[in-house]
Amino acid sequence: MRRVFYVMLLVLVGLAPAFLAPPAAAAEMTWTMSSGKPYQINMKFWAKDGGRVWPGNNDVYVLPRHATRTYTLTCRAGSTVCYGAWPDDGPAKHWGVGRSINNACTACCFVCGQSNPSRNLVD
């Protein structure tokens, strides 16, 4: 009986740091996206660590043709967030990491809580 008590105590002590650790701090970042294109553009944002997708599920943000919109995301402070965009009904192209998150990009990922990116989706 005494041995069971010590084993349980060791298990609880070993798990204590996981329960006592503070949760990751939430932060916000606001993306400003612009397009002069004559077609609608669909967009998503992804946390590079795989923890989050905005807007989530199978939804997309819609950037109307010839428009500018802002998208405020609540994310884990310090996490890297990337955007992907593609025409809804237009030429086969993409911006950022694209629709499937598998395209290389430059300047399409930013750190949550440290920047408010602004992008003009051009060719």
CATH number at residue 109: 2.60.40
- For the chain, what percent of residues have pLDDT higher than 70? 79
Question: Which of the two residues, 10 and 73, has the higher pLDDT score?
Answer: 73
Position 100 in a domain: yes
Position 11 in a domain: no
d(CA 42, CA 44): 7
The confidence score (pLDDT) of residue 19 equals: 46
**Residue 22: which pLDDT band, with cuts at 50, 70 and 90?**
low
Range of the domain at 39: 23-121
* Dihedral angle, C-alpha 109, 115, 121, 122, nearest 10 °: -90
The confidence score (pLDDT) of residue 1 equals: 54
Position 59 in a domain: yes
Domain total of the chain? 1
Position 18 in a domain: no
Q: Which residues contact 71 (CB under 8 A, 6 or more apart)?
A: 30, 31, 33, 43, 45, 54, 61
pLDDT per residue as tens digits for the range 59-113: 999 999 999 999 999 999 999 999 999 998 877 889 999 988 888 888 999 999 9
Position 60 in a domain: yes
Query: What sections of the chain are H helices per DSSP?
Result: 2-20
Q: Which residues contact 77 (CB under 8 A, 6 or more apart)?
A: 24, 25, 26, 27, 112, 113
Position 78 in a domain: yes
